[in-house]
Structure 1
Amino acid sequence: MSTDFRLPDLGEGLPEAELVQWLVAEGDTVALNQTIAEVETAKAVVELPSPYAGVVTGLHAAAGDVVEVGSVLITFDVAGETASAPAAPPVRADEPAQTETAEEKAQPNLVGYGAAPRGSARPQRRARAGAAARPAADTAVLEAAPHDAITMHDHIEALRERPRSTPPVRALAKKLGVDLALVNPTGRTGIITRSDVEEYAAKLSAAPAPTQVRTAPSSDPGVAHERTTRLPIRGVRKHTADAMVRSAFTAPHVTTFLTVDVTATSELISSLRADRALQDHRIGVMAIAAKAVCLALAHHPSLNSRWDAEHGEIVQHHYVNLGIAAATERGLVVPNIRDADGMTLVQLADEIGALAQTARSGKTPPSAMSGGTFSITNVGVFGVDAGTPILNPGEAGILALGAVRRQPWEHRGEIALRDVMTLSLSFDHRLVDGEQGAKFLRDVADVLQEPGRAMLLR
């Protein structure tokens, strides 16, 4: 029996995912729960297990396609009857009614998959760098068109969701060189009509001619080199950008700095690494800073709070889900360590190492990047002394660790070479007063300056 499998909600209510690669091909025989593909959501790369045991008879997307939740992804030839599944979700008021066969409604209920599909749109191909780009006139209009034509606001609003239209209208748009993502729909239920496309095409023809891309000089007069490269904004990079903009323009940020002598911490790290009993645990400055933060948060609850504007409340957390910022090829991700306040130094070090390894491989699940209460970022690994980190949305504070530098410093009334680090604390001024932020940072610094003080903060 031929059975379709639709892209499920992979968690966090994300509406779409990009197909990274297929791990099966048409004609392959697959087992139940065998990994069939890798897809990238706005937060992470996720492996999709096969919902059926059978033969692959159709792949409905290619690597690089952006597939909406609910779209048919793969078709199987399954022997016998398909497994029962939850009933299909009701059709939303703003979507046209659709008819489905019993086979399409019988979706598997796999562990790790979220809500039922919400639509059945076909996958959308997005152009990669170097591939065929949208018509140059589209870009020119955004930069130079008069206000009565296309505005940047129109462009931003158009990108909020995938354009919906009929096949004839899409064919017309292709013929006229119109990008449907930039067209304002006027049809019933938000569908782009033929007149919408024709009106947009007329505006394009009335817009000023686009400026030609200048090219760099070349030793070969027959070869021209473009001076710019356009890369699509998607995946983790897009999610991070949206989160940072939302945070920067929602929470009033304040950043305070403190430079501290961390020689004692450096010596502690050296002694721990020399301990044969701890040779399988990499304890570094990040782990000690994480421990210091957990201890300090217990005495400064305002830094471990959340502003709930909807209910007009400040929510204080009695636990610490500690976010650890990690730079990856796909962008910045901030997975968090659950209940970090209850862990030992060795446990924290192991968790930090595991999170970093998983993040670099792109395998961090979306669930690991939600629910954080405070974050740490180590800018020192890039040779930077200080910065003004942006809060992770929903959190009251984030601590940046600068580079540890050996430099002259006052020590016991004399000048000596010491290990020195600058701490940068950004906090939400709605939740945290300057005094509270300063005292919290001082407590963290005290532990790094004299690790034995951790015994006093416990």
Structure 2
Amino acid sequence: MPDFKSFPLPDTAEGLTEAEILTWHVKPGDTVELNQIIVEIETAKAAVELPCPWAGVVVELLVRPGQTVDVGAPIITIDVDPGGAAAPSTPAADAGTNGSGGSGGSGKIGEEMPGGRIATLVGYGPRTTTAKRRPRNDIRSTAALVAEEAARAATPAPAAVPAAVPAPIVVPDTPAALLDPQPGGQVPLAKPPVRKLAKELGIDLRSLIGSGPGGVITREDITQAASADAPAASSAAPAVAGYDAASRERRVVIKGVRKATAQAMVDSAFTAPHVTEFLTVDVTPMMELRARLKNHPQFRDVKLTPLVFAAKAVCLAARRTPDVNATWDAQAGEIVYKEYVHLGIAAATPRGLVVPKVRDADRMSLRELALALEELTATARDGKTTPAAMIGGTITITNVGVFGVDTGTPIINPGESAILAFGAIRDMPWVVDGQVVPRKVCQLALSFDHRVVDGQQGSQFLADIGALLADPGVAMTY
């Protein structure tokens, strides 16, 4: 008999309580291997790909893309013994053993540990003793569709299946658990690429009648609906989710990275007393050094941006002012001074603002730092930054200059004591040896936590950064 196991949503980073299902990479009936990527989720920190903890056949997808589920709630059912060799079990029973009980220890991926915990790529799974499945919004389960399909297939059957042989599971081509409900309980049939196109064009699938076999919505249906002269299937349905035609406003649910960022900024702004200081710097020598190094064999294959020099300056200056690299621990009543620099780089991504960290940036050479920043930026832009890469920072740089902005008053990241805004580098008139000449000039802004950093310390740190950018040779004295 089949052996069904339900995979509960794991906690991919410490403290997470929920996540949104972004994309399923499998559908009912697919054969999956151990550790095969089956779904992409978005937490409050990043988009994460989850591997399958077992090998088997997908029975049912329990959550639709776009739904937010609690950690510990089942998201997929896998038949781990499609051949029928194992003893029967139920999803409910499995849900109680997949992520509950047991002590520590190590095991191979997919193995059941003492206490019933399953080793996965993201830990041993959350405890499921109190987890409850979220409402399904009246969506018919795949099991129900399987039963309907099996009943239709059994009608013209010439002979009955012997009782001793388990009936084969018939899985429809379209995973019903992925479909949005239509009025009256119907679901719009459309393949994932078509659904993606509809989302990009702002077309509500529920407003269309599919022209494909069995009422399946095709790409042609979507493009026709998007054209100006396409007849609307339902005038009451808005073209864009959350759009109110009367008020000309669009509402978007606050969730994921945006929700986490907003809460973090509010907590920081109303907890740490912010002080912001500004400094205008002639960075012409730094830009000249950059031009020389780009032709150096060691840097020919490296993207050497001004941000790299700013990052190096922050790491060097933090040695002389360790207070800016400290943390205020209110619970313990202590200031924690860090003997390492985990440098955060604020990055704007399609999912919102994220701040991945360069670990031990103070120990890196200029070339190593440039490579680390290039990789960090590319990963963030692709939305692949892991939750682990965004925790444990000690100080942050926000490069507002890439947007052509001179400077700003940045908000300190929670758990840190300082953040530097690095502004745009512009050609400006500057006085050199009593003469006004054109120079490369940028503005710096440093926000710091006045509980940890006094005005003298903050000013000294900002002046040191400015001196290093104005004359990179000063680094020889540090």
TM-score bracket for this pair, using the shorter chain length: 0.7 to 0.9
1:326 aligns with 2:347: yes
Within 5 Å, which residues of 2 pair with 1:68-79?
Answer: 68-79=70-81
Instruction: Give 1:306 shift.
Output: 0.5
**Which amino acid is the alignment partner of residue 127 of structure 2?**
P
Per the alignment, residue 7 of structure 1 pairs with: 9
Residue in structure 1 matching 2:21, options 19, 38, 42: 19
Residue in structure 2 matching 1:29, options 28, 31, 56: 31
Per the alignment, residue 170 of structure 1 pairs with: none
Residue in structure 2 matching 1:122, options 121, 133, 152: 133
- The structure that has the greater radius of gyration is 2
* 2:98–2:125 contact (8 Å) kept in structure 1: no
Instruction: Give 1:275 shift.
Output: 2.6
Q: CA RMSD in A?
A: 2.2
Partner SS state of residue 11, structure 2: coil
* 2:39–2:49 contact (8 Å) kept in structure 1: yes
Equivalent-residue separation in structure 2 for 1:88 and 1:225 (angstroms): 50
Partner SS state of residue 421, structure 2: strand
**Which amino acid is the alignment partner of residue 120 of structure 1?**
A
Per the alignment, residue 121 of structure 2 pairs with: 111
Equivalent-residue separation in structure 2 for 1:267 and 1:125 (angstroms): 61
Instruction: Give 1:57 shift.
Output: 0.6
Paired residue total: 348
**Which amino acid is the alignment partner of residue 320 of structure 2?**
H
Fraction of identical pairs, as percent: 52
Per the alignment, residue 88 of structure 1 pairs with: 100
* 1:304–1:373 contact (8 Å) kept in structure 2: yes
1:231 aligns with 2:231: no
**Structure 1 consecutive aligned stretches of length 4 or more whose deviation exceeds 3 Å:** 80-87, 123-126, 223-226
Partner SS state of residue 298, structure 1: helix
Equivalent-residue separation in structure 2 for 1:350 and 1:224 (angstroms): 48
* 2:401–2:423 contact (8 Å) kept in structure 1: yes
Equivalent-residue separation in structure 2 for 1:75 and 1:288 (angstroms): 51
* 1:7–1:70 contact (8 Å) kept in structure 2: yes
**Which amino acid is the alignment partner of residue 14 of structure 2?**
E
**Which amino acid is the alignment partner of residue 88 of structure 1?**
S
* Distance 1:261-1:124 versus aligned 2 partners, 3 A rule: farther
Within 5 Å, which residues of 2 pair with 1:129-278?
Answer: 225-278=246-299
* 2:7–2:98 contact (8 Å) kept in structure 1: no
Residue in structure 2 matching 1:279, options 300, 310, 321: 300
* Distance 1:265-1:124 versus aligned 2 partners, 3 A rule: farther
* 2:412–2:448 contact (8 Å) kept in structure 1: yes
What per-residue deviation string (whole Å, max 9, x for no partner) do you get for residues 299-318 of structure 1? 10110111111111111111
Partner SS state of residue 250, structure 2: coil
Per the alignment, residue 447 of structure 2 pairs with: 426
Per the alignment, residue 302 of structure 1 pairs with: 323
Equivalent-residue separation in structure 1 for 2:380 and 2:134 (angstroms): 27
* Distance 1:68-1:319 versus aligned 2 partners, 3 A rule: same
Equivalent-residue separation in structure 2 for 1:331 and 1:289 (angstroms): 23
Instruction: Give 1:59 shift.
Output: 0.4
Q: TM-score, normalised by structure 2?
A: 0.70
* 2:265–2:411 contact (8 Å) kept in structure 1: yes
1:436 aligns with 2:457: yes
Moved more, 116-125 or 378-387: 116-125
Instruction: Give 1:353 shift.
Output: 1.0
Equivalent-residue separation in structure 2 for 1:274 and 1:409 (angstroms): 28
Instruction: Give 1:124 shift.
Output: 5.9
Per the alignment, residue 58 of structure 1 pairs with: 60
What per-residue deviation string (whole Å, max 9, x for no partner) do you get for residues 81-108 of structure 1? 5999777249xxxxxxxxxxx9xx9552
Equivalent-residue separation in structure 2 for 1:329 and 1:33 (angstroms): 28
Moved more, 262-271 or 38-47: 262-271
**Which amino acid is the alignment partner of residue 439 of structure 2?**
R
**Which amino acid is the alignment partner of residue 256 of structure 1?**
E
Q: TM-score, normalised by structure 1?
A: 0.73
**Which amino acid is the alignment partner of residue 13 of structure 1?**
G
1:288 aligns with 2:309: yes
* 1:389–1:400 contact (8 Å) kept in structure 2: yes
What per-residue deviation string (whole Å, max 9, x for no partner) do you get for residues 137-157 of structure 1? xxxxxxxxxxxxxxxxxxxxx
**Which amino acid is the alignment partner of residue 274 of structure 1?**
N
Instruction: Give 1:10 shift.
Output: 1.0
Structure 2, unpaired ranges of 5+? 103-111, 138-243
